[in-house]
Amino acid sequence: MKKYYYERSRLLESEVNIAFEELLWMDDIQTTKWIDSLREFILREWDVYGIPPTIGQNTEMLKRNFHKLRDYPLHQGSKQFLTKDEDTGEYDVIKNYNKFGSGVNQFFPTMLKT
C-alpha cells in the first residue's frame, strides 16, 4: 500500500466527526459502530498518511521546544523526568508530562506507537 503524507488530520471533515448530541442519541449498537469507525479512521490516518492523533506544532514551535529540551533536568533521580519504578523502587522510568516534549512525538511519529 502506498503511503501518503499530509500536514494535518482530515478528522474535522470526516463523517466520524459528529456532534456530542448525536452521540448521546445513539443506542448501544450505533455507539459501538461509531467507535469502530472512529478507531478505523484514526488508524488509517496514522498508518497510511503518517498522521498521529495529536495536535501538531508548526516548525517554529518545534524548534523552540527542542531548544527547551536542552535545559530539561535528565540527571538520575530527577523527579521531573524519571519516576519511581513500583517493582524495583529505582528512579528509572521515564515520565514525560511536559508540553514541549510533545514536539518529539511529532518529529518522530512512531514514538507514540512504541
Confirm if 53 and 42 have CB atoms less than 8 A apart: yes
Confirm if 69 and 100 have CB atoms less than 8 A apart: yes
Backbone dihedral region for residue 111 (phi beyond 0: left; psi -120 to 50: alpha; all else: beta):
alpha
* 31-70: pLDDT as tens digits: 999 999 999 999 898 888 877 777 667 778 878 878 877 7
Predicted local confidence at residue 17, as pLDDT:
94
* 87-102: pLDDT as tens digits: 999 877 776 666 666 6
Q: Which residue has the cell 531548544?
A: 67
pTM above 0.85, yes or no: no
